[in-house]
């Protein structure tokens, strides 16, 4: 894979092939951008959508396709895949996720922002140049809505944050834990929906993702880098998606849940039953997956030191 492609819209020098940047983080050593975000050319949602076409059946609900859809190019280098990066590059990427999520969620009519990455053709990538995307929606996506409902019920029943409770339960069980640092746990969650599904969770109740401070960003950068390396090393370099599940941007939600990042390796395609029922069949128990991922770390619950430096 070359470092640069003349025909790649995400390579430096081809900026005119994409809309004006919404964010450029610069690499001072080279006085060029190191991360660049811009509106997606084929956006599924836009800030100023057309009105939905008239409908003859008022039982059907239509909404304007209002929201934000951006691309975040993760590196100027066409072949700088996550497993080749330094922790500092991950720090910049996390900052970009924070800044663009915060900007999207501040827009009127936006209820939620989902940051996600498709890595590899089997995970939906159409352009190879490493990039993430952010889609901000006018309603809570179904998963976020269900989490919000359950977190709210749990708060009312117990007075505890649901995500804290899940992280605590995983650390107590221990056999699905891949690694821990001061502030994060990497786990194969209980009843994982698919093989090697991996969550990076703040251990203690976290502030909203967008306000995470630099020391914690540094630590998270090291954890994200290590997690992606372990997934790739232990499961044959699979294609994968990840999704950042932020807390919805209101104070009530922030009290009873907090953010986590879900990595979904594409080791098995959902088939008829999964698609038809919405239920999961997982062919690899999370306990076995966790044991496999602890292997390169030399055993159970290994601790990696925080990496990265102030930016």
Asked if 71 interacts with Zn ion (CB under 5 A), we say: no
Least distance from C-beta 78 to Zn ion, angstroms?
3
**Residue among 5, 9, 120, 301 that touches ligand UDP (CB under 6 A):** 9
Cβ atoms of 134 and 104 closer than 8 Å: yes
Under the binding rule (CB under 5 A), the answer on residue 78 touching Zn ion is yes
Site for ligand UDP in 120-179 (CB under 6 A): 124-127
Closest by CA to 204, choosing from 234, 184, 227, 218, is: 184
Footprint of ligand UDP on 59-78 (CB under 6 A): 71
| Minimum CB distance to ligand UDP smaller for 41 or for 146 | 41
Q: Where is 145: in which H helix or E strand? A: helix 142-158
Contact 182, 250 (CB under 8 A): no
Tokens of 210: 């967008």
First to last CA, the chain: 29
Footprint of ligand UDP on 234-263 (CB under 6 A): none
* Residue nearest Zn ion, Cβ-based: 8
SS3 118: strand
If the CB atoms of residues 77 and 253 are measured against Zn ion, the closer one turns out to be 77
| Token digits of residue 242 | 């990840």
Q: Any contact of residue 167 with Zn ion (CB under 5 A)?
A: no
32 binds, among ligand UDP, Zn ion, none (CB under 5 to 8 A by kind): none
78 binds, among ligand UDP, Zn ion, none (CB under 5 to 8 A by kind): Zn ion
Which of 206, 226, 225 shows the shortest CA–CA distance to 216?
206
Of 283, 180, 269, 267, nearest in space to 227 by CA: 180
Give the count of residues interacting with ligand UDP (CB under 6 A).
12
Q: Footprint of ligand UDP on this chain (CB under 6 A)?
A: 9, 17-18, 40-42, 71, 118, 124-127
Q: Footprint of Zn ion on this chain (CB under 5 A)?
A: 5, 8, 10-11, 78, 129
């Amino acid at each position: 894979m070359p470092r640069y492609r003349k025909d790649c819209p995400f390579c430096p020098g081809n900026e005119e092939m994409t809309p004006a940047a919404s964010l450029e983080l610069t690499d001072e050593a080279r006085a060029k951008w190191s991360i660049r975000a811009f509106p997606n050319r084929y956006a599924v949602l836009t800030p100023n959508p057309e009105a939905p076409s008239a409908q003859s059946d008022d039982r059907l609900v239509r909404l304007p396709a209002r929201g934000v859809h951006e691309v975040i190019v993760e590196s100027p280098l066409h072949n700088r895949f996550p497993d080749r990066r330094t922790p500092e590059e991950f720090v910049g990427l996390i900052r970009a996720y924070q800044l663009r999520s915060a900007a999207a969620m501040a827009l009127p009519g936006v209820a939620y922002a989902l940051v996600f990455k498709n890595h590899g053709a089997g995970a939906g990538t159409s352009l190879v140049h490493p990039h993430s995307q952010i889609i901000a929606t006018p309603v809570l996506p179904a998963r976020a809505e269900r989490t919000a409902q359950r977190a709210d019920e749990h708060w009312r029943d117990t007075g505890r944050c649901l995500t804290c409770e899940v992280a605590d339960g995983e650390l107590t069980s221990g056999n699905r834990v891949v690694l821990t640092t001061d502030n994060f746990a990497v786990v194969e969650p209980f009843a994982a929906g698919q093989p090697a599904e991996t969550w990076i969770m703040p251990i203690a109740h976290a502030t909203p993702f967008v306000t995470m401070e630099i020391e914690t960003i540094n630590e998270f950068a090291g954890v994200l880098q290590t997690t992606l390396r372990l997934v790739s090393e232990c499961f044959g370099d699979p294609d994968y998606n990840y999704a950042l599940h932020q807390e919805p941007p209101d104070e009530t939600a922030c009290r009873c849940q907090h953010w986590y990042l879900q990595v979904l390796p594409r080791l098995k395609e959902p088939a008829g039953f999964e698609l038809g029922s919405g239920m999961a069949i997982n062919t690899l128990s999370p306990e076995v997956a966790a044991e496999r991922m602890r292997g390169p770390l030399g055993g159970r619950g290994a601790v990696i030191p925080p990496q990265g430096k102030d930016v």
